[in-house]
Amino acid sequence: MLSLTRYLELVKRKKLLPILRIQTTVIRSIEDFMVSHGFVQLMPVLLSTITDPLGPDPGSSVIEVPEIEYYSQRLVLTQSMILHKQIAVAAGLDKIFIFSPNIRLEHEKRKSTGKHLIEFTQMDFEIANATMDDIMNLVEDLIIEVMKNVMKINEEDLKLLNRELKIPRKPFKRYTSHEMVQKYGEDWEFAASLDHSEPFWVTCFKREFYDREDPERPGHYRNYDLIYPEGFGEALSGGEREWEYERIVSRIRRDGLELDRFRIYLEVARMGFLIPSAGAGLGIERFVRFLVGAKHIGDIQLFKRVPGEKILI
């Protein structure tokens, strides 16, 4: 393991300051954009009785969910705030966003992807009665706005990093996951990302129980990922949500999960409080990595949290 002195020497050589200045612009720009579009900002939840199961999501390789016992109550560290977002919307908060720290103890094999961390932040948001088209349009505007701000405010930082950016054109291209598999194979993401020069959407994934299955097309899902170009991969995941109790229970059972793990959430659904909504989570570190052109996402962190690597501090 590195000594602290050696670690600090390496940090000084990594040109972290321009990266962190760009990250500051990203966070501020996102916050300004969301507030200007009528969103209310919530504080993140770190400990909870429920969290995102992250399955059956082929993009997840989480080996365990950290939990603690506090006054005889079992609590888990949140892997995302998706279930909290649905409950918040049910409580009458129509447009919400959160800068949400997430803990996901990924398998060490994820180190080589260049995009995985065990501790990261995403800008999680949800809109009552929204459709996937509403979300995709909003996200495209957000990405373009943030990139414009970075190119203007951080022009000198981008030069220091030898990074040139190009504003993508709306609308972003859209594909289905089936089209991606047909063209690039099962592990399509990296090859497809390399094959594009602008961000693009991929829709219809068999994922967690809360993502809505199209009632008119069983086996098809109203969800989506945004993919960065140039090999940088997934930027954002989201979807329209299931809100009807029986459908949620059926999906949980289909995935082989225990209903009791989601007791409070299911009680809200059973009482008919959940409503249609849609949203997504945008990874902050992944966005910054793309903007600065970093080879590995760990290179943009002051305190690295890379799967399988020893944590120094």
pLDDT tens-digit series, residues 69-84: 999 999 999 999 999 9
User: Does 57 score more than 70 pLDDT?
Assistant: no
User: Does 156 score more than 70 pLDDT?
Assistant: yes
In a domain, 308, yes or no: no
In a domain, 313, yes or no: no
User: Does 4 score more than 90 pLDDT?
Assistant: no
Check: CB of residue 138 under 8 Å from CB of residue 97: no
What proportion of the chain, given as a percentage, has pLDDT over 90?
90
- Mean pLDDT score of the chain, rounded to an integer? 95
pLDDT tens-digit series, residues 125-135: 999 999 999 99
User: Does 12 score more than 70 pLDDT?
Assistant: yes
User: Does 59 score more than 70 pLDDT?
Assistant: no
In a domain, 295, yes or no: yes
User: Does 106 score more than 70 pLDDT?
Assistant: yes
**How many folded domains does the chain comprise?**
1
In a domain, 305, yes or no: no
Residue range 87-94: average pLDDT?
98
Rounded-to-integer distance, Cα 164 and Cα 161, Å: 9
In a domain, 310, yes or no: no
- Give the structural domain span for 33: 4-300
In a domain, 306, yes or no: no
Q: What is the pLDDT of residue 98?
A: 99
pLDDT tens-digit series, residues 231-247: 999 999 999 999 999 99
User: Does 195 score more than 80 pLDDT?
Assistant: yes
pLDDT bin (cut points 50, 70, 90) of residue 56 is low
In a domain, 208, yes or no: yes
First and final CA of the chain: distance in angstroms? 11
Cβ density class 59-83: b for 16+ within 10 Å, e for less: ebbbeebeeeeeeeeebbbbbbbbb
In a domain, 15, yes or no: yes
Q: Residue 166 maps to which CATH number?
A: 3.30.930.10
What does the chain come to in residues? 313
Q: What is the pLDDT of residue 193?
A: 99
